[in-house]
Structure 1
Amino acid sequence: MTVKELTPDRVKLGITPTLWWNDDFPDIDIGIPFGEAVSEMALAGFQGCSIGHKYPTDPAELKSALDLRGLTVSEPWVSTYFTIDGMTEQTVAAFEDRLTFLKAVGGHDIVVAEFGNTSHILPVALFANRARFDDAQWDRLCDGLNRLGRIANEAGMRLCYHHHMGTGVMTRADVDRLLAGTDPALVNLLLDTGHLQFAGDDPLDAVRAHADRIKHVHLKDLRPPIVSRVREENLSFQQGIEDGVFTVPGDGSIDFEPILQALGDAGYEGWLVVEAEQDPAKANPLEYALKARRYLRDVLGW
C-alpha cells in the first residue's frame, strides 16, 4: 500500500540535524561538522532540513551551502517563554530576529515551543517534573502565540507550534487546549509523532481530530522498551535519548502508513520532516537517514 495523495507536488521531505548532533545537549556529539551533515542529508535523498546550532549564522552563507546541495530550509526553531513573567517582549524580539533570518534563507514555516519551566533540558525525571501551566499562564501563552502568528502572517510566513516532552504542551489534552485557545488563522500545529506517542497519546487520533490545523509534521519513531524505562526508572529526557528512545520512521513501533494516509486524505500540503534525536556514536547518522528515506519511499511510492 502506498499513500498516493502525498505526492511530490504537495509535500517535501526534510530531515533534522539531530541525527548528527543534539541541539539541546551539546555533549551528544562526535564532532561531525555542518558540511558533512548537510552533504549526507542530500546524499540520503532529502530535499530540506531544519536549522541546527552548527549551521552558519550568516543567512547568505547558509543559503549558498544548502543551494549547493539542493536543500532548502524546512524550518528554524524559536523557544518561547510567555509563561514566565516579564519574558514576553524578549520572546517576541527573538521571534522577529529569527523570522528575518528565515526570510533571508528562503524558508516559509517557523516552529515554536513554549519552554517556560520545561523539564526536558534538566537532569531530572522527565515525567514527574514536566511543566504544568495555570489558567493565567495558558492565557498568556495563547495570547502570545496569536501575536507571533500575526507577525508571521504579515511577513508571509507561517507559525507552527511544536508540542514537546517535558513542556506544558506535552499531551494530547494540552494540544487540544492550545488549539482551542488560539486563532486557527494565526497558529498552526506541528505534529510530532514521536513526542505525542512518548507522552502516551495516539498521533493518528490527533491527525483525525486536528488535520485542519496541522501544517508541519515531524516523523519520529519510538522504541517502547526505552519509553517504559524512562517512566518506571524516572529517567531524564537526555537519558532517554542516550538510551535510544527515538529512532527514524520504520525502525520503531509507530505505524506511519495510517498516519500519512489520514494526512493525505485531509489534503495535507507541507513538510514531512524525519527526526530522530539519537547518539551518533551509537546510531550512524547516514545509515539511519538512508533507512528513513527507504521507508518513506516504500510508503509514499517515491
Structure 2
Amino acid sequence: MSIRLGVNPLLWTNDDLPLLGDETPLTQCLAEAKRAGYEGVEMGRKFPTTFDELGPLLGHEHLALASGWYSSNLLERDVNEEIEAMQPHLALMKATGVTAMVFCETARCVHLDRSMPVSRRPRLTGADWQQLAPRLDAIGDYLAGEGVRLAYHHHMGTPIQSTDDVARLMDATGDHVGLLFDAGHCAFAGGDPLDWLGRWGERIVHVHCKDVRDAVVRRSHNRNASFLDAVVDGVFAIPGDGSLDFDAILARLAKIGYDGWLVTEAETDPSVSPSWPLAERSYRYLRDTARRAGFSLAAAA
C-alpha cells in the first residue's frame, strides 16, 4: 500500500476566518510545505484558480496538488446548474492531476458565521434527502466520467455533519459518491473515527489527518459556541498534538487498503503557533505513524 503525504494551507492561512494568518504569503506556505517534506498541498483561498497561474507556483517547489475544496449548492440548484458552476474548478483539478475532489454541500450552512452556534446547523428533512441524494449521485457519476472521484467532506456546521448524517449519505448514494474521512470533524461531531472507518472504509477516497482537543470540544458544546469560535479557541490540532489515536486510525486505514493522500490539516493561528514548526513536526509524525501502520510512501523524504 502506497500513500502520499500532503498538507492543507490552513496551517498558514485560515480560509473561513481571514484574520488568522492573513499576513502570510502563499509563497511561504508552499516553500515551507516542501521543506518540511510534504509531497503535495491542498488549495486554499490565496491560491490562483487557473492552471496557468498555479502550475508554475507548484512547479517551482516541485509540489503536487492533492485536491481542492468545492462548495456545492444542490439543495438550491439542479444538477445541470451545478455542473456548469463547477467547470472552472474541475478544469483546474484535471489540469493539476487531482483524482479526488473535495466536495461539500454548503447550502444553509452556519460554519462561516461566527455569531451562529454550530448547534444551529441545518438538519435535512426527508424531502431534502430525496432531492439531495440523487443529485449527488448524478454529480458523482459525472465526475467519474471526467476521471475525478467525488470526495464528500462531512463538516461541522453543514447539512452533513454527524454519524447519522454520514450513514444516510452512504446508504442513499452509490459508489461514485466517495467519502472524505476527516478524523477531526468526525470526533468534533461526536463520532468515533474507528467506527466510521469500519462502517464506510471502502467508500473513503481522501483523508484529512486533523486532530482535536477533547477539552476544547467539551467547552465548545458547553458554551454553545460557533464553529469559528471553537477554531479560535484551539479545537483543532495537527495530528499527534490532540486527543485522537492516529496509530489506531492509520492502522485501520491500512487494513482497509487505503491508497490515496493523507493530508495534515489544522485550523491554527500562526501568531500563536508559528506555521513552520507545525509543518515540520506534523510531517515527521504523519510519516512515522504511516510507516508503523504498514504504509509505504510514494515519495518519502
Alignment of 1:6-85 (within 5 A): 6=1, 10-84=2-76
Deviations, residues 137-158 of structure 1 (Å, cap 9, x unaligned): 1122211211111121111111
SS in 2 for 1:212: helix
Report the CA distance between 1:167 and its aligned residue.
Answer: 1.1
The 1-side partners of 2:119 and 2:283 are apart by 35
Alignment of 1:1-302 (within 5 A): 6=1, 10-84=2-76, 86=77, 88-184=79-175, 186-301=176-291
* 132-141 or 118-127: bigger deviation: 118-127
Contact 1:30–1:280 at 8 Å: present in 2 too?
Answer: no
Runs of 5+ unmatched residues, structure 1: 1-5
The 2-side partners of 1:207 and 1:300 are apart by 16
Contact 1:227–1:245 at 8 Å: present in 2 too?
Answer: yes
Q: Give the structure-1-normalised TM-score.
A: 0.93
Contact 2:180–2:206 at 8 Å: present in 1 too?
Answer: yes
State the partner residue of 1:3: none
Contact 1:82–1:137 at 8 Å: present in 2 too?
Answer: no
Q: Which AA in structure 1 matches 2:50?
A: D
Report the CA distance between 1:126 and its aligned residue.
Answer: 3.2
Question: In angstroms, what is the RMSD of aligned CA positions?
Answer: 1.4
SS in 1 for 2:202: coil
SS in 2 for 1:128: helix
Contact 1:219–1:248 at 8 Å: present in 2 too?
Answer: yes
Contact 2:73–2:107 at 8 Å: present in 1 too?
Answer: yes
Report the CA distance between 1:196 and its aligned residue.
Answer: 0.5
4+ runs deviating over 6 angstroms = none
Contact 1:60–1:104 at 8 Å: present in 2 too?
Answer: no
Q: Give the structure-2-normalised TM-score.
A: 0.93
The 1-side partners of 2:45 and 2:275 are apart by 17
Contact 1:218–1:274 at 8 Å: present in 2 too?
Answer: yes
Q: Which AA in structure 2 matches 1:293?
A: Y
